[in-house]
A = this chain, B = another copy of it.
Amino acid sequence: MKYCSSCGSKVELKVPQDDHFPRYCCTNCDAIHYQNPNIVTGTIPIMKDRILLCKRAIHPRPGMWTLPAGFLENGETIGQGAFRETLEETNTEVKMGNLYAIFNIPQISQVYMLFFAEVLREDFGETPESLEVKLFKEEEIPWQELAFPFVPIVLKNYFADRKDNKFDLKVETIERPVKKTNQ
C-alpha cells in the first residue's frame, strides 16, 4: 500500500494514537487503512463412504486435488460462503452440515473454516475452477497430489473420527515450513 484509497495521497506506516499496531495512515486526510486476516470457508463433501475432491484448474496449485473452499465474501455467513464455493468448484448443491475444522494459518493471515456437507446428487462435475471433480474412498485419496496442507490434515482427522463415529470440532494451527538459509 502506497497511496490513500480515500484521497489518493501518500500513506505512511505508523502506530496511530490509542492503537497498538502500525497501520497505513494517510499523510493528507488522516484516514487509517486497516489490514486484517481473511476467512477461507469450504466443505468436506461426503457421499456415503466417499469424499468429493476437485482437481484445481486455476492458480495456485493447478492440477492438484483439494476440498472446495475459498474466500468468504462481504454479506455472507460462513455457511453460505462454504455452500457457494462448493457449488462454484464442484457444480453440485450440497446439504450443509456442522462446522468440523478451523485452521489458523498465521503466516499468511488466513483462518480456514470447514463444514461437513452431504453430496445429494451425482450432478457434480468440472467447472471453470476445477478440471475434474471426483468421489474418492479412503484408500483412493491421492495423498501425494493434494494442493494445500489443510487438505490431508482434515481428511486424516475425518477418517480417524469415522471409526468412532464422533466428530468433535478441531481448532488447529498450521505452521508453514520456513525456508532454511545456510546460516
Contact = CB atoms under 8 A, between A and B. Distances in A.
Interface of A: 1-8, 11, 18, 20-21, 24, 33-39, 58, 71-80, 88, 98-99, 102, 104, 106-107, 109, 111, 128, 169, 171, 173
A9 to B, nearest CB: 8
A2 B109 CA distance: 25
B106 A75 contact: yes
Nearest to A58: B18
A5 B20 contact: no
In the assembly, how many copies of this chain are there?
2
A34 B35 CA distance: 11
A106 B73 CA distance: 9
Chain A interface SS verdict (over half): loop
Contacts of A71: 34, 36
Among A58, A72, A80, A173, chain B packs the most CB atoms within 10 A around the CB of A72
Nearest to A76: B106
Given A3-B6, A6-B1, A128-B18, A75 B39 contact: no
Given A36-B38, A75-B109, A111-B78, A7 B2 contact: yes
A5 B7 contact: no
8 contacts: A1-B5, A2-B7, A4-B5, A5-B11, A8-B8, A37-B72, A74-B109, A169-B169
